[in-house]
Structure 1
Amino acid sequence: MADATVRPAVPADVDEIARIQVLTWQAGYSGILPAEVLAALDPADAAAQWRQTIEQGPATVFVALEGEWIVGFCSAGASPESESAMANDLPPEDAQTVALIGTLLVEPRWGRRGHGGRLLVAAAKAVRAAGLTRGICWVPEANQSQVSFFTRAGWAPDGVVRTLDAGGRPLRELRMSGSLDLKLA
């Protein structure tokens, strides 16, 4: 394998990030999201959203590279209280120090090479340096590969679920939670 690295994203990365997001969702979420939702994904819209996040926050975006190629990305930052609330909608005691991993995707052809783990470790290190102590992320319950990935990182479902409207079809997501003190095995 060529050199594998992770670095903060820069505005010049947005087109590749958007391409990876659309391609990965279309490949990995078929059967989870309606075909018409996946077909309607627009790389230009995704690029505009990622450009805003990279330039203005609130999250930090990281890209994984293999050699010179961007192969995946991750966003992480302080969790809004609405994302970290307990099942009764009250904020947890540590609400001010919860990080949200908003997105973590690796292009399928680059999968199973450790890029996802490197992205999660880099994001966790950055949010820990910002004073955050615990991480959360939302994962479609039907996406067992994502659930397994976070489980291998030491995270677990924390009992909070949500159901989103995915083009007229319910999409049930589990909230995974865990330590930000992560190391690659």
Structure 2
Amino acid sequence: MSGPSADVSVRVAWADDAPAIADLQLRAWREMYAGVVPADALPTDVAAATEAWRASFQAPKDARNRVLVALERNRVVGFAMTTPASDPDCDPVADAELMELTVDPAERGRGHGSRLLQAAAETMQSDRFSRAVLWAMASDDALREFLTGAGWAPDTAHRELDLDGEGTTLVKQIRLHTALS
């Protein structure tokens, strides 16, 4: 006999999830980019982020844009966003991009990331993609370790993002990929 299990799940996000996703995203970014991006360069306006999320739910640019949320009971503890890949060397019919995979820093290590990643892979497969890519900060060893443990691998692509347009806030990223079969 097994013990009680947590009430956890992953589902497609609803417009009503926008405030929780926006709040989680901004909080997670503060931790993720600490020491990489100046704190004052990160967005802090949850209301504006909420409206941006609501707008994206109401008018997605592509029918294959998906947002999934990880729940603990009825509380959003993570989210994933998938879309057709837009890199010049990717095929937007065959290649998907996992644009973001975010779990509440206080909820990490409880399986939410694994559930989100699996649900995102299944969603991309359902949308008939055969490969997925994800851009990760080169310094984010934890994310890379998590993804490689799930079968993702670097594909030699890399880039440097100029976040402030002045060359003072640069973020180096590497691309990872996986087959969706």
Task: Give the helix-richer structure, 1 or 2.
Answer: 1
Partner of 1:25 in structure 2? 29
Work out whether residues 34 and 166 of structure 1, in 8 Å CA contact, stay in contact via their aligned partners in 2. Answer: no
Listed as ranges, the gaps of 5+ residues in structure 2 are none
8 Å Cα contact 2:11/2:68 also seen in 1: yes
Select 1:135's aligned residue among 98, 121, 132.
Answer: 132
Aligned to 2:102: 105
Of residues 22, 30, 45, the one that matches 2:48 is 45
Among the aligned pairs, what percent are the same residue?
A: 34
- Residue of 143, 158, 161 corresponding to 1:164: 161
Q: Contact 2:84–2:92 (CA<8 Å) still a contact in 1?
A: no
What is the root-mean-square deviation of aligned Cα atoms in Å? 1.5
Of 34, 40, 43 in structure 2, the residue corresponding to residue 36 of structure 1 is 40
Q: Match for residue 80 of structure 2?
A: 74
Would you identify which runs of 4 or more consecutive aligned residues in structure 1 move more than 6 Å?
A: none
TM-score normalised per structure 2? 0.88
Distance in 2, Cα, partners of 1:172 & 1:42: 25
Q: Give the unaligned 5+ runs of structure 1.
A: 86-90
* Alpha-carbon separation, structure 2, partners of 1:41 and 1:55: 23
Q: Give the match's secondary structure for 2:121.
A: helix
For the 8 Å contact 1:158–1:175, the answer to whether it is kept is yes
Structure-1-length-normalised TM-score: 0.86
1:36-75 per-residue CA deviation (whole Å, 9 max, x = no partner) reads 213x432222212222222222311000001121100010
- Report the alpha carbon displacement of residue 4 of structure 1 after superposing the two structures with TM: 1.1
